[in-house]
């Protein structure tokens, strides 16, 4: 894939004639909250907001940054409290939020149901990305393997889990991933191991089927694979504390290969943090899990109608192309509805399926179990 083209495409994408229907020409200030990394808040400020405001005179988007992790939970709790008292939540949209938080929010009717909201573009969404009718998957990101192509020729890069395991064992100290609770690149690498140990079938893990009796054994099987690889990892089993720290070690040449978010690694290459000859590859037997950002809108939003128009706008060709080209993300709509040229360009990194892993109780069990069984790096036979 030629990365320089990303930028050109980005500009072309923005010039595409707008097809979104016009929202009402009225004065509205949409408060849009995000807890995502800087590349996403910049994307909203520099790409989405100007494009939407240009089409809707009088409307402005106020991007509110609510980091660190969990920052949007408090905003969602405030919206639920406001719903109960009939007050305004002072919030119109969260661009990425688990609609199951706060508990009971869905039952009390806090979030807009996108299936019934009448979005013109809802039918274009990739069905694999929909986890709940209350979250609008407008962008996704996948975890890839990024490697130093000087030390590992592209032809020899591993393409299956078995090839990857073999490569890690034959090249001790050349691979590192971050702790699973400290960033999705390491987190989804751990989840890929769990998929591997459970028949490579992502469908066995669902949001509500965690069973304290039987589920830990399923996870343990994955942890066993990882513990077997641990002595061959960087420093015999060291794990970085975040996505960016892994990229830093790859950039310093301390390791040859890391799992990385597609959007972060593409940005790092564009900014020169990683060299031009950084290779990217996806496992072909089962892709590393990805995630889709679920945009949510509370039903008591102050600018409900305009915000729903914004949600529809996010799914237009113009914005979906920008997701791919400007932030190296993954479209929320099906690949088939996007231009053929774009599809061909990104063929290398497009997995045949988009596995996801549910959060909730599974996430907690993975974090706890990994720290107890893999991280201590116990001597093993």
Partner 1 sequence: MSISVAQDRGRGQTGLLLVLLPVALVATLIIWPIVRAVMDTLIVTGPDGASLSFASYRFFFTDAHSMGNLRITIWTTAVSVSILMAIAIPIAIYLRFVTGRTAAVVQALAIFPLFVPSIILAYAFIRVLGPNGMVDLILGSFGLPRIRSPYLTPWGPVIGFVWDNLPLSVVILMAGLSNVTNNAVEAARDVGAGKFAILFHIILPRIWLSILVATSFVVLGLFSAFTFPYLLGPAAPEMMGPFMLRTFGDVMDPVQARTQAVITFLICAVFGWFYVRSIAKNRARREAA
Give the binding site for partner 1 (CB under 8 A). 69-70, 179, 181, 234-235, 238-241, 245, 248-249, 252-254, 363-364, 367-368, 371-372, 375-377
Q: How far is the CB of 311 from partner 1 (least distance, A)?
A: 29
Q: What angle do CA 32, 13, 270 make, to 5 degrees?
A: 85
Hey, what are 325's tokens? 């080209």
Residue placing its CB nearer to partner 1 in the complex, 25 or 238: 238
**Nearest residue (CB) to partner 1, 341 versus 368:** 368
195 burial via Cβ count (<10 Å: 0-12, 13-18, 19+): buried
Nearer to partner 1, 210 or 330 (CB): 210
* Nearer CB in complex with partner 1: 135/183: 183
Q: Whose Cβ is closer to partner 1: residue 126's or residue 178's?
A: 178
The CA distance from 48 to 326, in Å, is 11
Q: Output the smallest distance, CB 185 to partner 1, in A.
A: 15
Nearest approach, Cβ of residue 374 and partner 1 (Å): 8
The C-alpha angle 14, 15, 19, rounded to 5 degrees, equals 85
Nearest to 193 by CA among 217, 216, 227, 159: 227
**Minimum CB separation from partner 1 for residue 376, in Å?**
5
Min. distance of Cβ 110 from partner 1 in angstroms?
20
Chain centroid to CA 216: 25
Quick one: 335 or 371, whose CB is closer to partner 1? 371
What is the rounded CA–CA span in Å between residue 237 and residue 259? Answer: 15
Q: What is the smallest separation between the CB atom of 362 and partner 1, expressed in angstroms?
A: 11
Distance CA 73, CA 17 (A): 36
% helix, strand, coil for the chain, step of 5: 45, 15, 40
Of 252 and 353, the one with the shorter C-beta distance to partner 1 is 252
Please, what is the minimum distance in Å from the beta carbon of residue 69 to partner 1? 7
Q: Which residue, 209 or 241, is less far from partner 1 as judged by CB?
A: 241
Question: Least Å distance between CB 193 and partner 1?
Answer: 15
- State the minimum distance, in angstroms, from the CB of residue 144 to partner 1: 22
The set of long-range contacts for 300-304, using a CB threshold of 8 Å and a minimum separation of 24, is 300/79, 300/82, 300/83, 300/87, 300/88, 300/89, 301/89, 301/91, 301/92, 301/93, 301/112, 302/31, 302/88, 302/89, 302/90, 302/92, 303/28, 303/29, 303/30, 303/92, 304/92, 304/112
Whole-number Å distance between alpha carbons of 239 and 257: 13
CB 53 within 8 A of CB 41: no
Cis peptide, bond prior to residue 102, ω within 30 of zero: yes
Of 168 and 322, CB closest to partner 1: 168
Q: Is the peptide bond between 68 and the residue preceding it cis, with omega within 30 degrees of 0?
A: yes
């Amino acid at each position: 894939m030629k990365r320089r083209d990303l930028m050109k495409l980005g500009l072309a994408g923005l010039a595409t004639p707008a097809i979104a229907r016009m929202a009402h020409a009225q004065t509205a200030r949409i408060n849009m909250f995000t807890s995502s990394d800087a590349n996403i808040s910049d994307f909203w400020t520099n790409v989405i907001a100007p494009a939407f405001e240009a089409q809707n005179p009088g409307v402005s988007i106020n991007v509110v940054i609510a980091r660190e992790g969990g920052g949007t939970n408090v905003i969602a709790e405030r919206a639920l409290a406001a719903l109960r008292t009939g007050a305004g939540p002072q919030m119109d949209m969260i661009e990425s939020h688990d609609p199951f938080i706060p508990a009971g929010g869905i039952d009390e009717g806090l979030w807009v149901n996108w299936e019934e909201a009448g979005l013109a573009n809802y039918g274009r969404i990739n069905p694999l990305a929909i986890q709940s009718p209350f979250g609008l998957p407008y962008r996704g990101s996948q975890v890839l393997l990024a490697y130093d192509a000087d030390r590992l020729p592209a032809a020899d890069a591993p393409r299956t889990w078995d090839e990857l395991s073999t490569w890690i064992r034959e090249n001790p100290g050349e691979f590192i991933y971050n702790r699973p609770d400290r960033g999705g690149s390491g987190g989804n690498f751990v989840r890929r191991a769990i998929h591997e140990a459970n028949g490579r079938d992502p469908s066995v893990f669902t949001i509500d089927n965690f069973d304290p009796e039987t589920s830990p054994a399923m996870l343990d099987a994955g942890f066993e694979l990882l513990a077997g690889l641990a002595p061959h990892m960087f420093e015999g089993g060291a794990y970085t504390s975040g996505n960016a720290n892994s990229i830093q070690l790859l950039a310093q040449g301390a390791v040859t290969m890391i799992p990385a978010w597609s959007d972060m690694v593409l940005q790092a290459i564009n900014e020169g943090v990683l060299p031009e000859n950084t290779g990217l590859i996806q496992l072909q037997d089962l892709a590393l899990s990805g995630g889709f950002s679920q945009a949510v809108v509370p039903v008591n939003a102050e600018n409900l109608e305009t915000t729903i128009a914004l949600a529809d706008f996010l799914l237009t060709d113009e914005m979906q192309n920008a997701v791919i080209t400007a932030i190296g993300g993954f479209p929320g709509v099906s690949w088939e509805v996007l231009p053929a040229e774009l599809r061909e360009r990104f063929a290398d990194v497009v997995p045949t399926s988009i596995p996801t892993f549910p959060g909730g109780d599974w996430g907690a069990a993975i974090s706890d179990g990994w720290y107890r069984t893999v991280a201590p790096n116990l001597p093993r036979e």
